[in-house]
Structure 1
């Protein structure tokens, strides 16, 4: 008889892995034991050596659906483990006397599985209509874990002792809930409450309130959600007013795939993502006729739909029997509420009632958001269901990227993996800052990563940069747009030189000016700017982000002098007639005197400019990117005849002269061309500009791998056109898949750059 030890690394805790090991060993007739140890699984087996090899192979190839096995190791063992196979009590690495991976991997939450859903609706099942039904294949994970190794005693479920029936299931190797740590039932598990009501009565009361037009704060997996009837215009308008979110679209939860297909066009790939265990919000093309109130997603090209993630969501949708707005439980730009005191304080002015429960939430996770570009998932927000599953990254020295300011995340990296922390939101006030600090401390403790260096943005005004500078650790400044494209390269395993296209709103360049439309010849450790958009003033600085008309006037009145004549005064006058006259006069004076008018080479601000000129964003907007989103919606599927563009060489850098494009746009608008056709033409023109800039860089010796990064590539039409044109040149085109394409991916890019620089210094 051969005795061998084994260790399994990856996402192998909280995913039913120990029960799987037990069943595998039992089926092969092996003796031994298995346990969770820190962040991995290990044990011993005894039997025929060939059977043990088969056992190890099955651990890597037949793992449970939620598991992600990185490697299986067989080691020596001295003593026989005895007859039979057992699941042992979990231990830390120190207690076991063994050493393992220094980094511990945390499973993300998983939506209710098909088996649990069947039981939820089975009157004969003892968990019939129990909101917190779960098993080893589904349920809360990252949001309830307090410590590793993952056992019930180290989760918030420790507050709910198992009843006799649940304890029997938990101990039964043949049961689907064998060692399912969040297992519970109506007799021993969490309970819902609404006002003074409990259980089913609370659910009915909340549903009745929603049907009557109320806004309800619902305690979900990773925090509170604000819910209202998505077909009720008055209810949605009330939610917008109370939440201080006048225009940004809301996500809608629908009962099932049949309901989703009635409201949106759903491709095969989109369908697979909708029903995946992550259950993200998926941005879909809406059908012309659907039940959703227009106030849910005004002036946007796609509607965010998602399916129920928990039994509670399913039951609530059944009771209300219509689609529900389900959005973050917060006021605009604040972190989502997780605790009862926090929720009842922050959301008292928003919600008419609170459907809550008594299971504590340990970690704050908002809903993930994705879109499908071609057949590839593009992550907009990496949160519940996706984070904090590890991402690959070539890194040996433990380090961190602390992110940007908007759509803030941080990344902890070590031992060949990187963990994106929870989506915090816009890091602009004390509440979001405190949420970041708590998430930082929690994820650091759980993963075991203690950074020895911090990577941060160059902008001194970002709270993340200021925090990094206060820490007693070596710091590595990473340029914003380099981080964008490095994130794409690192995710796809590109280690050599590549060409980066970074289009976004604004980021501080290494020359102290504002960038946002950049072509970079890059590697992970460094870059050189080889192309850019022409600069234009931003009257009022940051105020121009909320007032697209200011960006428009800056582009028209003071474009970068590249030898192109300004548009005629008549065209400019006609174009600015729709803008606020008093503001226009003030902005004209600011531009003429160059007072508080920083110049920027920004693709995002050029989108704002065109949106303002075509009338889709003539007034102020409520969130960054709103003008661009409206422009994409206006373009729709309209036929596009491209506008003129010009590329010139300025001090060794290819520069897109946008004045040529804007002049023709104004001329065609004056000649009566439809605004929607011009919006489509602008998208195609920017794609051609990108192809032109990239082609010139490649002709100059740049690599043929192109990485697309930055928030502008959330624009589905722009992304599709750019990829099509670049691929027609025979180029390899990469875009973020798991890593957010916008500023939510900056921290991962910072970590990739820092790892490369530290590796070079070794």
Structure 2
């Protein structure tokens, strides 16, 4: 049979995941000759041999190694290659895109190796292979080769070089390959004592006596202490000025997780994912004589965020400590996570008692990813280490859309680089109200654009003119002479969900249910509880929560009692609220400047009206006495309310909301719900029962409006989005009610439902508008 040759180009996540060694092994097994190499964002294969063998190679390539994602494969005829064998050729430069892999948790083989006495890497904290280890956090350029990583300064010893060059070895072309003889080294530093002789033992000694260490990980520093020590957790909160925000916990194994928590099968699968995200888990009840997690880890909540050790360093440390460790972002409150030693020693002084550091540089900051189970499957709450920079495909009819830079919103800031049929959503950056986070946002944006050679034709921003992200977008557009496209906040929320589920430009509209804290609406008021009729071109408000005054403006988002007063006054009138307060305990309003708030509402001075679902949750949490007078982190009241609701026995009773038609727009009126709640409180109904009925009531109201709108407009698809949709109890109740009436429900799973995913929707809307205007 005459030999023929072809060129195969493969794109996707195909660099840093052992893809070239995989192709080499398959080609050798099939008796093919040729070469494989990285070229920019692709893997390029030239292969010669019988047609059947080449077809078999393509079939196996499409399946790929475990961590690879093959998005596109193109085959074209080629000239016969020289040579008799199949080789891995040097990388070539080319068009750079988004094919670099995220950082990967330690694989079972490497985990076993560091525990094997006498092994060359026994106890080595930086062990890795083609299936695991640092990737995005160490990349300084593409293609993904050692000289383009922060490992460039570590010359491989002869033994590591032999593994790197051996196609049969799992470290064949593993770029971060290292060992104790040639790789990064660990050091433990304490003030006034210098470096310890045994770094891990010294760190364990500090932790065991209730101290706090700063630990350099893959994407930044963590602050660690014993998760079973109330005193250690209290000290960490005091030093970090973090009074109540949940602290993540790291555990060494699934067995340890089972000792302290009650995970479901799906939650265990998420924990074991190569991304190693933080997963909220129910905590096991305390038992006499057994260590338990500190109650101070997540005050007022019924779940604790847990992740498994994802580097050999974490594995070794947890093995020696023998107990779970708090592993929270190494930073001062409100500031970006520290990634270098100089900042660690200064910024974390006064918080940490010692520093466990190493000499491998971190190329970019990456917070831990957070995932949770909702409606029986995992979903992303925060994108970070292990998920970034994996891109999402745009719908097929956007494959040739122009490159777009979308800058997201100011809370949970993240940006999106879209082009070539893909959308790369950045890792979580933070709250842009903080100047340090603004600097980090600009630096990360420059880093991504340089690394992925992204040259936008248009820049998209949130329509709110006072957002820092809007101002930055306007500046960048002016400097580059590019058009700036403002996008309405809630339209972008719904569009992000549409993109993830492949809804095309020509697919017709969806009904979007966008529930969040607040975003600028198309009428210039604050929105946050909206039913929308959307495609990528336009968005029409067709229903939603009735607006209520927000006394004090932004202060109302921090002090839930303000929204409780406003809601009760709107539902009952001032006299009705006072009468109710006389008969029903409403502790949240005791000793509050009620008259001042009412004057603000009456005169309209600093009391804008808004339809915020988030503020409705805050008000209910205040009435049921689970919200503090002043919140210490975003979403605190709503999270406490959901935790309270989960304590209630199973039921189907729902608090009543009113529905009224206002010129074709269906308003959801909370007034009947508030009257019902006060009756239940007067009857001493358990607060958990009321909280659960509130969730079901709001879900019923939103589902009823969506059903009416969908029927009126001939729509069958409902897209759920907005930060309130991170509430699993609400989403599950809402999804069930929508499916029961035959509607198709889309729920964000790969991108956050909140502002962390909004840039994805902005990018899609801007791309379609730009395409159709040029």
Give yes or no for TM over 0.5: yes
Give, in angstroms, the shift of residue 233 of structure 1: 0.7
**Per-residue CA distance 1:211-249 (angstroms, 9 max, x = gap):** 111111111101111111000111111111222211111
> Which residue of 2 is the match for residue 681 of structure 1?
693
SS class of match (1:157)? coil
> Which residue of 2 is the match for residue 588 of structure 1?
598
> Which residue of 1 is the match for residue 415 of structure 2?
410
Cα gap change, 1:374 to 1:197, in 2 (>3 Å): farther
Give, in angstroms, the shift of residue 197 of structure 1: 6.4
Structure 1 residue ranges without an equivalent (≥5): 94-100
Of residues 666-675 and 596-605 in structure 1, the stretch that sits farther from structure 2 once superposed is 666-675
Q: Does 1:124 align with 2:118?
A: yes
Q: Does 1:342 align with 2:343?
A: yes
Task: Please say if residues 656 and 689 of structure 1, whose CA atoms lie closer than 8 Å, have aligned partners that are also in contact.
Answer: yes
Give, in angstroms, the shift of residue 575 of structure 1: 5.1
State the distance in 2 between where 1:350 and 1:198 align: 19
**Per-residue CA distance 1:471-521 (angstroms, 9 max, x = gap):** 222111111111111111110011221110011111110111000000001
**Per-residue CA distance 1:20-59 (angstroms, 9 max, x = gap):** 1111111111121111111111131222233222222221
Give, in angstroms, the shift of residue 79 of structure 1: 4.6
Cα gap change, 1:701 to 1:242, in 2 (>3 Å): same
Q: Does 1:703 align with 2:715?
A: yes
Task: Please say if residues 518 and 526 of structure 2, whose CA atoms lie closer than 8 Å, have aligned partners that are also in contact.
Answer: yes
Q: Does 1:449 align with 2:464?
A: no
State the distance in 2 between where 1:730 and 1:331 align: 49
State the distance in 2 between where 1:656 and 1:463 align: 32
Among 264, 267, 271, which residue is 1:270 paired with? 267
State the distance in 1 between where 2:628 and 2:221 align: 35
> Which residue of 2 is the match for residue 484 of structure 1?
493
Of residues 303-312 and 259-268 in structure 1, the stretch that sits farther from structure 2 once superposed is 259-268
State the distance in 1 between where 2:497 and 2:699 align: 19
**Per-residue CA distance 1:115-139 (angstroms, 9 max, x = gap):** 0011010012100010000000000
State the distance in 2 between where 1:566 and 1:142 align: 60
State the distance in 2 between where 1:263 and 1:461 align: 45
Cα gap change, 1:4 to 1:199, in 2 (>3 Å): farther
Task: Please say if residues 117 and 311 of structure 1, whose CA atoms lie closer than 8 Å, have aligned partners that are also in contact.
Answer: yes
Task: Please say if residues 281 and 369 of structure 1, whose CA atoms lie closer than 8 Å, have aligned partners that are also in contact.
Answer: yes
Give, in angstroms, the shift of residue 618 of structure 1: 4.8
Task: Please say if residues 98 and 389 of structure 2, whose CA atoms lie closer than 8 Å, have aligned partners that are also in contact.
Answer: no
Among 503, 506, 509, which residue is 1:494 paired with? 503
> Which residue of 1 is the match for residue 367 of structure 2?
366
Among 402, 420, 442, which residue is 1:437 paired with? 442
**Per-residue CA distance 1:142-170 (angstroms, 9 max, x = gap):** 00000000100110000110001001100
State the distance in 2 between where 1:752 and 1:697 align: 24
> Which residue of 2 is the match for residue 750 of structure 1?
762
State the distance in 2 between where 1:439 and 1:618 align: 35
State the distance in 2 between where 1:25 and 1:522 align: 49
> Which residue of 2 is the match for residue 615 of structure 1?
625
State the distance in 2 between where 1:118 and 1:703 align: 54
Among 165, 170, 183, which residue is 2:164 paired with? 170
Of residues 384-393 and 1-10 in structure 1, the stretch that sits farther from structure 2 once superposed is 1-10
Give, in angstroms, the shift of residue 671 of structure 1: 2.2
Of residues 235-244 and 639-648 in structure 1, the stretch that sits farther from structure 2 once superposed is 639-648
Cα gap change, 1:586 to 1:32, in 2 (>3 Å): same
Among 276, 279, 294, which residue is 1:279 paired with? 276
> Which residue of 1 is the match for residue 232 of structure 2?
235
Alignment RMSD (CA, Å): 1.7
**Per-residue CA distance 1:395-434 (angstroms, 9 max, x = gap):** 4211121010111100101001011112101111221111
State the distance in 1 between where 2:557 and 2:52 align: 66
Of residues 511-520 and 392-401 in structure 1, the stretch that sits farther from structure 2 once superposed is 392-401
Give, in angstroms, the shift of residue 200 of structure 1: 7.1
Cα gap change, 1:377 to 1:426, in 2 (>3 Å): same
Among 501, 513, 521, which residue is 2:525 paired with? 513
State the distance in 1 between where 2:39 and 2:194 align: 42
Q: How does 1:86-485 map to 2 (within 5 A)?
A: 86-93=87-94, 103-195=97-189, 201-289=198-286, 291-394=292-395, 395=398, 396-471=401-476, 472=478, 473-485=482-494
Cα gap change, 1:192 to 1:198, in 2 (>3 Å): farther
Cα gap change, 1:565 to 1:543, in 2 (>3 Å): closer
> Which residue of 2 is the match for residue 504 of structure 1?
516
State the distance in 2 between where 1:558 and 1:74 align: 66
SS class of match (2:553)? coil
SS class of match (1:721)? helix
State the distance in 1 between where 2:91 and 2:394 align: 29
Give, in angstroms, the shift of residue 540 of structure 1: 0.8
Task: Please say if residues 38 and 104 of structure 1, whose CA atoms lie closer than 8 Å, have aligned partners that are also in contact.
Answer: no
State the distance in 2 between where 1:194 and 1:130 align: 15
Task: Please say if residues 383 and 423 of structure 1, whose CA atoms lie closer than 8 Å, have aligned partners that are also in contact.
Answer: yes
Of residues 380-389 and 694-703 in structure 1, the stretch that sits farther from structure 2 once superposed is 694-703
State the distance in 2 between where 1:252 and 1:156 align: 28
> Which residue of 1 is the match for residue 684 of structure 2?
672
Of residues 223-232 and 613-622 in structure 1, the stretch that sits farther from structure 2 once superposed is 613-622
TM-score by length of 1: 0.96
Task: Please say if residues 568 and 577 of structure 2, whose CA atoms lie closer than 8 Å, have aligned partners that are also in contact.
Answer: no
Give, in angstroms, the shift of residue 469 of structure 1: 1.1
State the distance in 1 between where 2:534 and 2:457 align: 25
TM-score by length of 2: 0.94
Task: Please say if residues 499 and 706 of structure 1, whose CA atoms lie closer than 8 Å, have aligned partners that are also in contact.
Answer: yes
Give, in angstroms, the shift of residue 577 of structure 1: 4.6
Of residues 463-472 and 588-597 in structure 1, the stretch that sits farther from structure 2 once superposed is 588-597
